[in-house]
Structure 1
Amino acid sequence: MSFSSLLAASQTQATFQVIPVLVLLPVFGAIAVALTPNARIGVHKMLATIFTGITGAISVWLLTAFETNGEFQFISQQTWIKSLGIEWFAGVDGISLFLVVLTGLLFPFVVIAINPKHDHKAYYIWIQLLQTGCMGVFVSLDLFMFFVFFEIVLIPMYFLIGKWGHGNAQYAATKFFLYTMFGSALMLVSIVSLAVLHAQNSDSELTFNLIEIATNPAIATNTSRLIFLGFAIAFAVKVPLFPVHTWLPDAHTEAPTAGSVILAGVMLKLGTYGFIRFGLFLFPEASHFFAPLFLTLGVIGIVYGAIVATMQKDLKRLVAYSSIAHLGFIILGTFALNTQGIQGATVQMINHGLSTGALFMLVGIIYERKHTRQISELSGIQKSAPVLAGVFTLVMLSSIGLPGLNGFVGEFLILLGTFTANRWWAVIAATGVILAALYLLWAYQRVFHGPQNQEDEPTKDLTNWERLTLLPLVVAIVFLGIYPKPMLDRIEPAVDKLVTHIEVTIEDGSFTEPVPTTQNRTSFSDLLKQTHESHSYDKHDGHHGHESDHEDGSHSGDHE
């Protein structure tokens, strides 16, 4: 990209800050709903649809305007709490881009497709606040800002599960809240420790700026592995990773359909994304040191989740345990610490959100018709609901990882990257694919085939409205399976730079960035130094825009 085009993009960004609008627009939607009379249920849904829909449209615009160069783009930077060195610092790269798009599109889908049974006004308020929290996590480049949004998501999801859930919903919501709060407390200690160490070792003011902290050699060299564990435990709980996974089956089982779709589609990715964005980037040495542990836990999660899923009698609980297995694959790819593995993990985050979100949607539709999720009480649905059975088959096969559907792409890259790192982990993980086929096909055969209970009324097939709302998910599942190139092209450059950062750290034995030996790679640290310097320049000129001055790397040597 030429300097003139970069400058033009920077000026456009200075005029219109798209990231703050993307993050904060649902808050204004929540306020609009709050100001509407309680009896205007239709207006509540309309407002939520408009505001989440516009947010989704903006996320799609980001996708179309995104440059495939691996850099952070659409940068938004502004002082927030000056005395504490806290900034509003946000942007997207190839790793976060599709998670932003997924968050932007999944929430209006949930608002349109699913109606709450009661308290409509509060429901639509919490849904929109949850979208803001998730979106904020994926765009944050300031550690304190990241922590704030990481915590914001707890409150809406707590109420969605506890107030609109089924059965023992209060217990499930409280368990979810306490587990996550425990991990977050440890992460807060690590964030503060990291900022203080940075200020002490660099003789600078206190800052939570991700780029400044990550590219400071003294901090990187002296950072304790215990600080990494503070982040890692918080992310492991949020994933959730075995053995801190026990809150997830309860939360999924008792949550309303909307809560399960959002939880599986977006919220579980906060932990896996956190590992990649903050764990690997801030702590390459610690990530390398603890990689065998997390690879082992990932493999255990894959096998354990699959085996326990085969034992489930509740269809929704079966899908919940399948999530534990799929997220184990994502952890496996992340800690393979190579391009194929991390790229596969990033792709699989998106694909899991689509496939498992759709599965929970379909389970919710079945529950509405049959008033039970017990597999033993469901049989022969295909006879009276062939379209429902067909859509379930497609989504199920994508979750298994059938070639030609989206689930195959991520799993293949993860297994390829893991085999490069250690073949035995890959071999054991591959059994998870076989087990996934076992428990999903078994459930499908029991629910949709076999004799129909003569005492039950025939199951109503998908309505035209349900078909229309499920169509985008089905199209995405097929399109990303057949033609994943556009997604891979946008993700790979950012992943490649991250892997280079990890590799040179491990090879050099410190966090000081040596001159890259591979000609076709640009050092991730150099890139981020240039990004930060360009925005420091912009701030002095009153501009906070796109990284327009990346070509000027003259100060990158100051950190080496």
Structure 2
Amino acid sequence: MNPHLLTILIFIPLVAAMIMFIVPSGKRAAYKYIALITGILQLVLSGGMYCLFHPKGAGISEERLYQFVDHIPWIRLDMGSFGRLEIDYFIGVDGLSMPLLFLSALVMVVAIGASWNVQKSVKGYFILLMILDMAVMGVFSALDFFLFYVFYELMLLPLYFLIGIWGGARREYAAMKFFLYTLFGSVFMLLIMVGLYFSVTNPDTGAHTFNMLHMMNPANYVNGSFFSALANQELFGISARLLGFVVLFIAFAIKVPIVPLHTWLPDAHVEAPTPISIILAGILLKVGGYGILRICFSIFPDAALQSAWWLGLIGVVSIVYGALVALAQRDLKRMIAYSSVSHMGFVLLGIASLTTEGTAGALFQMVSHGFLSAALFFLVGMLYDRVHDRNIYHFRGLATVMPRYTVFIAVAFFASLGLPGFSAFIGEVFVIIGAFNAESINGLLPRWMAIAGSLGILLSAVYFLWTLQRMFFGQVRLKGGNVWSAALTDASPRETVIMVPMLALALVLGIYPALALDKINASVLALVELITK
């Protein structure tokens, strides 16, 4: 087996972007085919890696427990009295990251398919899409904090331009808001990253290091000695470790996003072109959840334990608030955006429970929401491409006009609201079970949080079923009359080929969740043990 499979997976899009740069601008069709071939190669490679991935025993701070590892010295600099600078090209995957890598490859293929009719600056669009693809894969693979930060920041620029140039009428405002929110979190993340660097050393060389596994090493927690430079200090009356945890949590919570840091999301979704909405919902939100698990909880387990009640409360507020606001929306795309706030609240609630079932449910929910939200935004884009309108009240009786499209959206709605037999049901039920059991297992969350979280499932059924009834059933009434009737053609073969695998995956994971749970279980157990022991 090639030891550099993960490196190949990450940098295939960069090679594609370089080829696109060379191809003359007149060959507009070439760019989308290069992107499609790249996306399919990534999907096949990540699928093969997923099948080869073998869950290992407990422990998250040992390199031998990660797979497809590439560990190469990258930057070495003697800094005199400050010691020696060590930055490595260090990548690898475990049960927390492997499912998200496959999800990212799948969502990118969907986004490329949704980009098929892009007409404006096609070359620039697909080059930016490939750079974004590379950055996403790098974020889910990096095990060196400096490398993680490079990939994390690299996601920001392509998204800013993709929204700001190819978006809707208020695209500049939405792009700037997204940029400022993300940059706010990233700047403070950089400060914590530097503080961590000067607080931990490589036991083999004695040099300071950005190696996240050394930062996670349980031996460093013994008797409060973890990161001795920070352990006994206070800033603003708060322990430095708790403050570091809070700052990093806010940086990733912006990406999730949680209430009240969510306001960039509806604007970005509404103004972003359909493929970018698919990436935002399907991948970017998962970067936030992954960052909380991989960095916040793994490096600051003591602070995570101390903050669990508050995180659970924020999760419950996000679930209920997101669902209530979604219920009030008239714009179909904005409704789905707020539903994402609600559904990602389940992720935070499950993580905060610090139980095996709750954490596994949170990770499963991220995977499930990834392809279901991508499917929903793709379906909204199909409608908008035909009549350039998304107002729920402007449509009625679409089942008569677009029967195949109606089947797709009905299945996607039922899957998203957590109907038994679909993947979202498994994720949400595991989260509720974990939150309910947390009181008796570790005493961290009261049971009323689980009950309040369950209300979000009921509310999601209300807004999804009401939208389905309002838009698709009854006598045909369209704001655009006969012009819209002619334009509202049913799902094309290309659109059908994109939709069927995603909806089938939701059904397969709902019926046989072990396909994902078997891969993530060992890593989840190790993380929960690290925090609660």
TM score, norm. by length of structure 2: 0.90
Q: Is the 8 A contact 1:396 1:440 kept in 2?
A: yes
Q: How does 1:320-359 map to 2 (within 5 A)?
A: 320-359=337-376
Q: Which residue pairs with 1:27 in the alignment? A: 14
Name which of 62, 72, 84 aligns with 2:66: 72
Q: Which residue pairs with 2:391 in the alignment? A: 374
Q: Secondary structure at the match of 1:224?
A: helix
Deviation at 1:202, TM superposition (A): 11
* CA distance in 2 between partners of 1:324 and 1:18 (Å): 34
Is 1:437 the counterpart of 2:461 in the alignment?
yes
Deviation at 1:112, TM superposition (A): 2.6
Deviations along 1:86-120, one digit per CA (max 9) or x if unpaired, are 11111111111110001112212221343213111
Deviation at 1:204, TM superposition (A): 2.6
Query: For this pair of structures, how many residues does the alignment match?
Result: 491
Is 1:488 the counterpart of 2:495 in the alignment?
no
CA gap of 1:67–1:203, structure 2 versus 1, over 3 A, is closer
Deviations along 1:479-532, one digit per CA (max 9) or x if unpaired, are 11111112111111110111111121xxxxxxxxxxxxxxxxxxxxxxxxxxxx
Q: Which residue pairs with 1:141 in the alignment? A: 143
Aligned residue type for 1:80: W
Q: Which residue pairs with 2:430 in the alignment? A: 413
Is 1:219 the counterpart of 2:221 in the alignment?
no
Deviation at 1:203, TM superposition (A): 9.5
Aligned residue type for 1:126: L
Q: How does 1:125-524 map to 2 (within 5 A)?
A: 125-199=127-201, 204-215=206-217, 216-217=220-221, 218-220=225-227, 222=231, 224-421=241-438, 422-453=446-477, 455-456=481-482, 457-458=484-485, 459-504=488-533
Q: Which residue pairs with 2:23 in the alignment? A: 36
Is 1:46 the counterpart of 2:33 in the alignment?
yes
Aligned residue type for 2:75: I
Aligned residue type for 1:95: L
Deviation at 1:333, TM superposition (A): 0.5
Deviation at 1:338, TM superposition (A): 1.1
Deviation at 1:201, TM superposition (A): 11
Q: Which segments of 5 or more consecutive residues in structure 1 lack a partner in the other structure?
A: 1-11, 505-560
* CA distance in 2 between partners of 1:160 and 1:494 (Å): 35
Q: Is the 8 A contact 1:382 1:449 kept in 2?
A: yes
Q: Which segments of 5 or more consecutive residues in structure 2 lack a partner in the other structure?
A: 58-64, 78-84, 232-239, 439-445
Aligned residue type for 1:440: F
Q: Is the 8 A contact 1:401 1:411 kept in 2?
A: yes
Aligned residue type for 2:32: K
Q: Is the 8 A contact 2:196 2:227 kept in 1?
A: no
Q: Which residue pairs with 2:235 in the alignment? A: none
CA gap of 1:424–1:220, structure 2 versus 1, over 3 A, is farther
Q: Is the 8 A contact 2:199 2:208 kept in 1?
A: no
Q: Is the 8 A contact 2:145 2:210 kept in 1?
A: yes
Deviations along 1:278-334, one digit per CA (max 9) or x if unpaired, are 111111110011111111111101110000011111000000000000111101111
Deviation at 1:450, TM superposition (A): 2.6
Query: Percent of pairs identical after alignment?
Result: 39
Q: Is the 8 A contact 1:86 1:142 kept in 2?
A: yes
Aligned residue type for 1:88: Y
* CA distance in 2 between partners of 1:52 and 1:305 (Å): 32
Q: Which residue pairs with 1:549 in the alignment? A: none
Is 1:108 the counterpart of 2:132 in the alignment?
no
Q: Is the 8 A contact 1:348 1:411 kept in 2?
A: yes
Aligned residue type for 2:96: I
* CA distance in 2 between partners of 1:203 and 1:488 (Å): 37
Deviation at 1:52, TM superposition (A): 2.2
Q: Is the 8 A contact 1:52 1:128 kept in 2?
A: no
Aligned residue type for 1:42: A
Is 1:124 the counterpart of 2:129 in the alignment?
no
Q: Is the 8 A contact 2:111 2:276 kept in 1?
A: no
Q: Which residue pairs with 2:237 in the alignment? A: none
Q: Is the 8 A contact 2:114 2:274 kept in 1?
A: no
Bigger mean CA offset, 296-305 vs 202-211: 202-211
Is 1:96 the counterpart of 2:103 in the alignment?
no
Bigger mean CA offset, 251-260 vs 470-479: 470-479
* CA distance in 2 between partners of 1:199 and 1:384 (Å): 65
Q: Which residue pairs with 2:76 in the alignment? A: 82
Deviations along 1:329-380, one digit per CA (max 9) or x if unpaired, are 1011111111111101110001001111100000000111222001111111
